[in-house]
Amino acid sequence: MTATTDGSTGAANITGVPADDPTDTRTAANDVTDVARQAAERSVEHLLGRQDEQGWWKGDLATNVTMDAEDLLLRQFLGIQDPETTRGAALFIRGEQLGDGTWNTFYGGPGDLSATIEAYVALRLAGDRPDEPHMARASGWIRDQGGIAAARVFTRIWLALFGWWKWDDLPELPPELMFFPKWVPLNIYDFGCWARQTIVPLTIVSAKRPVRPAPFALDELHTDPDHPNPPRKLAPPTSWDGLFQRLDKGLHLYHKVAPRPLRRIAMNVAARWIIERQENDGCWGGIQPPAVYSVIALHLLGYDLDHPVMKAGLASLDRFAVLREDGARMIEACQSPVWDTCLATIALADAGLRPDHPALVKAADWMLAEEITRPGDWSVRKPELAPGGWAFEFHNDNYPDIDDTAEVVLALRRVRHPDPARLEAAIARGVRWNLGMQSRNGAWGAFDADNTSAFPNRLPFCDFGEVIDPPSADVTGHVVEMLAVEGLAKHPRTREGIEWLLAEQEACGAWFGRWGVNYVYGTGSVVPALITAGLPAGHPAIRRAVDWLESVQNDDGGWGEDLRSYQEEKWIGHGESTASQTAWALLALLAAGRRDTASVTRGVTWLTEAQQADGSWDEPYFTGTGFPWDFSINYHLYRQVFPLTALGRYVHGDPFADRPDAAEGA
Tell me the CA end-to-end span of the chain in Å, nearest whole number: 42
- Backbone dihedral region for residue 553 (phi beyond 0: left; psi -120 to 50: alpha; all else: beta): beta
Count the Cβ atoms, other than its own, within 10 Å of residue 32.
23
Mean pLDDT in residue range 598-606: 97
19: helix, coil or strand? coil
Strand 631-635 and strand 329-331: the pairing is: unpaired
Task: Write phi, then psi, for 631 (nearest 5 degrees).
Answer: -140, 105
Amino acid occupying residue 620: P
Domains of the chain: 34-59+336-452+470-664 (1.50.10.20), 61-211+225-331 (1.50.10.20)
Percent of the residues in the chain that have a pLDDT greater than 90, as a whole number: 86
At 24 the pLDDT is 46
As a whole number, the mean pLDDT across the chain is: 92
User: pLDDT digit string (tens) for 477-506?
Assistant: 999 999 999 999 999 999 999 999 999 999
User: Which residues lie below 8 Å from residue 36, measured CB to CB, with a gap of 6+?
Assistant: 604, 607, 608, 647, 650, 651
Ranges of beta strands (E only) in 276-359 are: 321-323, 329-331
Give the tens place of pLDDT for each residue, 134-175.
Answer: 999 999 999 999 999 999 999 999 999 999 999 999 999 999
pLDDT tens, residue by residue, 36-84: 999 999 999 999 999 999 999 999 999 999 999 999 999 999 999 999 9
* Confidence at residue 239, expressed as pLDDT on a 0 to 100 scale: 84
Task: Find the catalytic residue in 340, 403, 448, 474.
Answer: 403
Q: Is the pLDDT of residue 665 over 90?
A: no
Q: How far is CA 612 from CA 2, 38, 205, 211, 410, in A?
A: 9, 12, 49, 51, 28
Please say if the pLDDT value at position 664 is more than 50. no
Q: What is the pLDDT of residue 557?
A: 98
pLDDT tens by residue, 318-337:
999 999 999 999 999 999 99
> pLDDT digits over 179-207, tens only?
999 999 999 999 999 999 999 999 999 99
CA distances from 283 to 121, 331, 336, 469, 510 (A): 26, 14, 14, 22, 38
What is the pLDDT, as a whole number, of residue 28?
62
Reduced to 3 states (helix: H, G, I; strand: E, B; else coil), residue 96 is coil
Instruction: Let me know if 248 is a catalytic residue.
Output: no
What pLDDT shows up at residue 662?
41
Look at residues 641, 557, 561 and name the one whose alpha carbon lies nearest to residue 600.
557
Q: What is the rounded CA–CA span in Å between residue 380 and residue 178? A: 14
Model confidence pTM above 0.85: yes
Q: Tell me how long the chain is.
A: 666
